[in-house]
Amino acid sequence: MSAQLPKADVVIIGLGAAGGIAAHVLTQAGIDVVGLEAGPRLDRTDFLAHDDEISGVILNWTGKYKCNKEVPTWRPNANAATAKPPVPPILMGNMVGGTSVHYGTQSWRFRADDFKVRSSTVERYGEAAIPENSTLADWPLSYEELEPWYDKVEYLIGVSGKGGSNPFASLRARDYPMPPLPSFGYGDLAQKGMESLGYHPFPQPAAILSERYDDRPACTLCGYCGFFGCWNDSKSSTLVSAIRRAEGTGKLDVRPNCRVTAILSNDKGQVTGVRYIDDQGQEREQPAGVVILSTYVYESVRLLLLSTSDHFRNGLANNSGQVGRNYMSHAYVSRNGLFPGKDLNLYSGTTGQAVAMDDLNGDHFDHTGLGFIRGAVVFASNGNLPIGQSRTIAPGVPQWGSAYKRWIHDNGDSVGSVFAQVEPLPYTGNFLDLDPKVKDPLGIPVVRVTYNFGENEDKATTYLDTKLAELIKAIGATETWPGFPARTPVPVNSHAYGGTRMGDDPATSVVNKYSLAHEAPNLMILGGSTFPASSGYNPTETIEALAWLSADYLANHLDEIAV
Amino acid sequence: MTDKEIPRQAASPGSPGAAGAAAGAGRPTNTSHSTALTTDELATLRAVVGRVIPADDLGPGAAEAGVDVFIDRALAGPNASDLPVYQAGLAALEKAVGTGGFASASPAAMDALLTKAEAGTLDGVPEAFFSLLLEHTRQGMFGDPVYGGNRDFVGWDLIGYPGIKLVWTSDEQEINAHVAPKHISVAKFGGQGW
């Protein structure tokens, strides 16, 4: 029998991007919140002590507390055995602030069209343009509804960018709170190259400070950013913004190193609290009026499927069988280019410091006759590190020996790249469930990913590879070759979506537009798992805006929602 | 940005970081003891990585950089599951070279065997061996010295990485701007390696 604690108004599982924003919104409204976080509480001295490529990129040290030990398995389809994925897993981080602490800071708003992805596609190209087995759907809310919440997020956490610089962007009520990060040499070259092909480059918006903001210092372009925590508190994680403020109200009880193992529910289908293992290894029960599940896609699906009861025999909020469905993962295409004799000085800055273009994203170009729909955001960024560059060698160069050494010596900082982040479609055959065999160190089944490209993704990535090859030559590369990962599915990804889709119809979705579960109305699910479609953009700012909208709705309707 | 926004010394007094900084940041103090491989295996590995990135007119190679030490520590730590692959791969190289031992063979003879290992035509070499060897040699050569490789920052100097530099100016991000090597390891900031 686990020790039962006093009831909380709201318990949040996972204090990352989504949970951190929700904690801020609820505590500002005077609501008492318990925040259970599986990872530890870390700060900038911990991050500084791990500013090296082995810790951050090779070992993903902030994942060692949880996600590194429970990596989902993969199979390409439901008839196949699990296998080694075509690309190694790209993982998250576990700590107070979650993956917002170690992300690359790209901070995008989706476009109006992204929220109407199915209907706008059908309108322009007809029903036949959508692959037969795709479950592509419109969102149950519009860009216009989400715009005020994007704005609040940008001003709370601190996002740098230049409003109006992207001609494809949807209308915004006001500019970003601060200008973009400074331009950089290779970025200037990339911008000229993009313009020479008729594209419309602009400085990528980034959740990192270009100037002092909210008592935090500006980014010093140190180069340890994506997969690293910020030693300078310049990265706009929820740790140093939303959670810091929420704790300042005295209304947020943060409990690090606390691992939730079940969400509890009653025979009416209402959730009543959570069971967790605390930082002393003691099992506890935390009753709550509302449970917010804001872990990552994999844990959210896993906890729901594991939280069975007489009312929910197939998992919490899953009498519809929709939990785990409509899974997507961003695809990537990149091209490296050689710029002989030029020191590009890319060993600094962040992937957030980038020149981006939206011309090949969404439906910003005519897809007639191309055989695929949607596209990718394309960018050229800073933030290379030496081990990564030591692998980035041109075809025909020996992989070892004096010739390799000579090439790396001459060209280590003369390779520039362009990247495309490709929007995948959801399909009936791509889904998440529990692996029947593989368990984590606690004995809990890990998630099994069933995922593959459709013809749409094959054709989109092939098209984008051609476009990127053309682009990097226009930027000035004398030689170009495909980068990594090249045009293959990334089954396990920190850019994964779906599993608890948002929608109006309880038969085809798990949560409503306020992120409340159709079948368990006092359960809120936040994060990329609710996305009906992924867009080509990075997800975090949309996750945060949805968290704000949903938490605001909860704060205003707590008496009706809470049990 | 003003200077006071940057911590002058991030590690607090008495922490491993402060001690490391006082003792000479980034210099591995422990360069020879074996933790996963035997002394003989380590000697073979040292010769092998010395051919993957050899010492030549461009300067020291992976052997001089301590990449064998790096890999040995990795195999004693997070890469423990790769240990049998290394043991089998190194044994196969020794077997193929015969008497005298791999480390005493001529560079040309060593390269010929490694070329066969790379092509998958050397008996007893596990399929995964050569690609792991390449990847780990690069990690050791170009990773932070606190992990036992990249001794005296020779890997970073080779590839043109200046070392940890907490503040970059916009001017230093211009093409062909000269950025002087800083030779600073994460050990200075409390990094403890494996």
Say how far apart CA A220 and CA B24 lie, in whole Å.
25
Query: Helix (H, G, I), strand (E, B), or coil: what is residue B87?
Result: helix
Say how far apart CA B85 and CA B91 lie, in whole Å.
10
Of B114, B179, B191, the CB nearest to A52: B191
- Note the pLDDT tens digit of each residue in A35-70: 999 999 999 999 999 999 999 999 999 999 999 999
Reference B143, options B86, B182, B186; nearest CA is: B186
| pLDDT above 90: residue B17 | no
pLDDT at B20: 34
φ/ψ bin of A421: left (φ > 0), alpha (ψ from -120 to 50), beta (otherwise) = beta
User: Which residue in chain A is spatially nearest to B16 when comparing CA positions?
Assistant: A49
pLDDT at B34: 55
In this structure, is the dihedral angle defined by the CA atoms of residues A93, A99, A105 and A107, taken in order, positive or negative?
A: positive
Quick one: what percent of chain A has pLDDT higher than 70? 100
User: Which residue in chain B is spatially nearest to A382 when comparing CA positions?
Assistant: B173
Indicate the burial class of A348 (C-beta count within 10 angstroms; 0-12, 13-18, 19 or more): buried
Cα A306 from chain centre? 23
- Please state, rounded to an integer, the average pLDDT across all residues of chain B: 86
pLDDT band (50, 70, 90) for residue B30: very low
Answer yes or no: are the C-beta atoms of B189 and B12 closer than 8 Å: no
pLDDT at B98: 87
Contacts B141 to A, Cβ<8 Å = 390
Contact state of A222 with B146 under an 8 Å Cβ cutoff: no
| pLDDT above 50: residue A347 | yes
Answer yes or no: are the C-beta atoms of A524 and A324 closer than 8 Å: no
Name the minimum distance, in Å, from the CA of B39 to any CA of chain A: 24
Name the minimum distance, in Å, from the CA of B30 to any CA of chain A: 18
pLDDT at B2: 37
Contact state of B160 with A59 under an 8 Å Cβ cutoff: no
Q: What share of chain A is helix, strand, coil (3-state, %, to 5)?
A: 30, 20, 55
Close Cβ partners of A527 (under 8 Å, ≥ 6 residues apart): A16, A17, A18, A294, A295, A296, A297, A300, A543
Say how far apart CA B131 and CA B111 lie, in whole Å.
16
Contacts B60 to A, Cβ<8 Å = none
| pLDDT above 50: residue A143 | yes
Interface test with A, best of B159, B165, B167 (most A CBs within 10 A): B159
Structure tokens at A94: 């576990």
Q: Kindly state whether residue B176 falls inside one of the protein's structural domains.
A: no
Structure tokens at A338: 């050689």
Query: A454 to each of A350, A430, A508, B188, how far by Cα in Å?
Result: 32, 10, 21, 49
Cis bond upstream, residue A485 (ω within 30):
yes
Name the minimum distance, in Å, from the CA of B38 to any CA of chain A: 24
Query: Helix (H, G, I), strand (E, B), or coil: what is residue A206?
Result: strand
Q: Kindly state whether residue B18 falls inside one of the protein's structural domains.
A: no
The interaxial angle of helices B39-52 and B107-119, nearest 10 deg, is 90
Class of domain A8-561: alpha beta
pLDDT at A71: 98
What is the ipTM score, two decimals? 0.95
pLDDT at A484: 80
pLDDT at A3: 84
| pLDDT above 90: residue A2 | no
- Note the pLDDT tens digit of each residue in B95-147: 999 889 999 999 999 999 999 999 999 999 999 999 999 999 999 999 999 99
Say how far apart CA A81 and CA A429 lie, in whole Å.
15
Contacts A399 to B, Cβ<8 Å = 118, 134
Any idea where the domains of chain A sit in the sequence? 8-561
Q: Largest alpha-carbon pair distance within chain B?
A: 64
Contact state of A389 with B111 under an 8 Å Cβ cutoff: no
Eight-class DSSP state of A155 = I
Say how far apart CA A77 and CA A438 lie, in whole Å.
18
Taking residues A445-473, report their average pLDDT.
98
Which of B6-20, B23-37, B110-124 tops mean pLDDT?
A: B110-124
Which residue range is the domain that position B151 belongs to?
Answer: 31-161
- Please state, rounded to an integer, the average pLDDT across all residues of chain A: 97
User: Count of domains in chain B?
Assistant: 1
Q: Kindly state whether residue B181 falls inside one of the protein's structural domains.
A: no
| pLDDT above 80: residue B9 | no
Eight-class DSSP state of A43 = -
Contacts A48 to B, Cβ<8 Å = 7, 10, 189-190
Q: Kindly state whether residue B101 falls inside one of the protein's structural domains.
A: yes
Indicate the burial class of A560 (C-beta count within 10 angstroms; 0-12, 13-18, 19 or more): exposed
| pLDDT above 90: residue B16 | no
| pLDDT above 80: residue A238 | yes
Query: A122 to each of A111, A254, A275, A291, A498, how far by Cα in Å?
Result: 17, 46, 45, 37, 22
Query: Helix (H, G, I), strand (E, B), or coil: what is residue A429?
Result: coil
Query: A172 to each of A176, A297, A503, how far by Cα in Å?
Result: 9, 29, 25
Chain A to chain B, count of Cβ pairs less than 8 Å apart? 171
